Amino acid sequence: MLGDIINPYHLQIVSFILINIILGISIYITLSSGQLSLGNAGFMGIGAYTSALLTINFDLPIFLGIILGAVVAGVFGILIGIPALRLSGVYLAIATLGFGEVIRVIFVNWESITQGSIGLSGIPHLGRELFKTFKLTGFDPDMLGLKNNQFIYLLVVLILLLVNILLVWFFIRQNKSRVGRAFAAIKMDEKAAESMGINITYYKVLSFTQGAILAGFAGALYAHVMAYISPADFAYHRAIDILIFSIFGGSELIWGAIFGATFMTILPEALRFISDYRYMIYGVILIAMMAFRPQGIIDVPLLKWFKKSLKLKRGVSHGIGTKKYN
């Protein structure tokens, strides 16, 4: 029964959506302290190549590879984040875009290790490797009425979903705390934030690095879901795509990045039947968006309205709301 509904192609799209959500959150976090980074494609590439090379050449378990990929991207995040403190706005955007290109060019030219523009193939696949482990325990997907292929893609989606839920939970909590308030204060007025005792160096590097770690993490997941990567996957158009996720969805809230990544991943697939025009429609939607709703689809008033109507529907008032302050 389950086997009739599940379509590996759809599952593949869902896993792209989930990876793109992580990328969207990575830029949302950097933006939340007022820094516009276009280097996240570069960090993504670092994560992807690190994990891919470690698992291919040293037979490292995938999970360890992914974590190391995120860590290495994070280290680069700190190294870039500190000098980037002197820059802001478009200057930071250009500098980080330059960084991303440097990384891509290194992947292209360091052929002995990265195999140049041909890219790395034969990267252990997250789902298949897990499937092998399951098989060892004597599990057969037939027990669920699934074909091997369906089961593998389903596993990937479930893992990514779990990761996504954890990340969203993490950043919502961070956002509602002293750290989140410091990010927001720096975004709104850096000088005033500093005068209020906020160590802006620390918090700006923190948010930049968190963004880099997330992008590296997403990149590593991407490598093990695609099983093949090449430098072109991490070119500047990827950086723009990531930025669009957050800007289109609404950069004020984490839900904006989530919505943006979901919508922008589904759109080209949904428009596949008019293949020649789909990127034109994509472009028109972006232009209309910037003209009519520059803050992005999801903003604070919309979220408040949504919460309110949800409460009205339930018809219950949850206390007088004395403890509600954020």
Stretch binding another protein (CB under 8 A), from 77-85, 139-147, 168-176, 260-268: 168-176
| Residue 309 CB, nearest approach to another protein (Å) | 19
> How many Cα atoms sit within 13 Å of 310 on the Cβ side?
7
* Closer CB to another protein, 6 or 247, in the complex: 247
* Closer CB to another protein, 111 or 189, in the complex: 189
Q: Is 177 in the site for another protein (CB under 8 A)?
A: yes
Q: Is 147 in the site for another protein (CB under 8 A)?
A: no
Q: Is 66 in the site for another protein (CB under 8 A)?
A: no
Contact present, 235 and 99 (Cβ < 8 Å): no
Among 12, 19, 16, which Cα is nearest to 40's? 19
| Residue 183 CB, nearest approach to another protein (Å) | 10
* Closer CB to another protein, 132 or 311, in the complex: 311
* Closer CB to another protein, 99 or 171, in the complex: 171
Distances (CA, A) of 3 to 18, 158, 163, 291: 22, 16, 24, 44
Contact present, 27 and 40 (Cβ < 8 Å): yes
Find all residues with CB under 8 Å of 299, minimum gap 6, and list them. 250, 252, 253, 256
* Closer CB to another protein, 279 or 306, in the complex: 306
Q: Which of 197, 294, 315, 319 binds another protein (CB under 8 A)?
A: 197
Instruction: State the CB neighbour count (10 A cutoff) for residue 264.
Output: 21
What φ, ψ does residue 6 adopt, rounded to 5°?
-80, 125
| Residue 180 CB, nearest approach to another protein (Å) | 8
Q: Is 191 in the site for another protein (CB under 8 A)?
A: yes
Cα–Cα dist 297/233, whole Å: 27
Count the residues of the shown chain that bind another protein, applying the rule CB under 8 A. Answer: 26
Q: Is 206 in the site for another protein (CB under 8 A)?
A: yes
Among 171, 144, 179, which Cα is nearest to 158's? 144
Q: Is 198 in the site for another protein (CB under 8 A)?
A: yes
Q: Which of 128, 181, 278, 293 binds another protein (CB under 8 A)?
A: 181
* Closer CB to another protein, 136 or 320, in the complex: 320
Give the tokens for residue 110: 């360091």
Q: Is 180 in the site for another protein (CB under 8 A)?
A: yes
* Closer CB to another protein, 149 or 174, in the complex: 174
Contact present, 141 and 150 (Cβ < 8 Å): yes
Give the tokens for residue 98: 């330059």
Judge residue 293's burial from the number of C-beta atoms within 10 Å of its C-beta, 0-12 exposed, 13-18 middle, 19 or more buried: middle
Binding mask 266-305 for another protein (x = CB under 8 A): ----------------------------------------
Q: Is 264 in the site for another protein (CB under 8 A)?
A: no
Cα–Cα dist 108/106, whole Å: 5
DSSP 63: H
Q: Is 317 in the site for another protein (CB under 8 A)?
A: no
Taking the alpha carbons at both ends of the chain, their separation in whole angstroms is 45
For another protein, the binding residues (CB under 8 A) are 170, 173-174, 177-182, 184-185, 188-189, 191-200, 206, 325-326
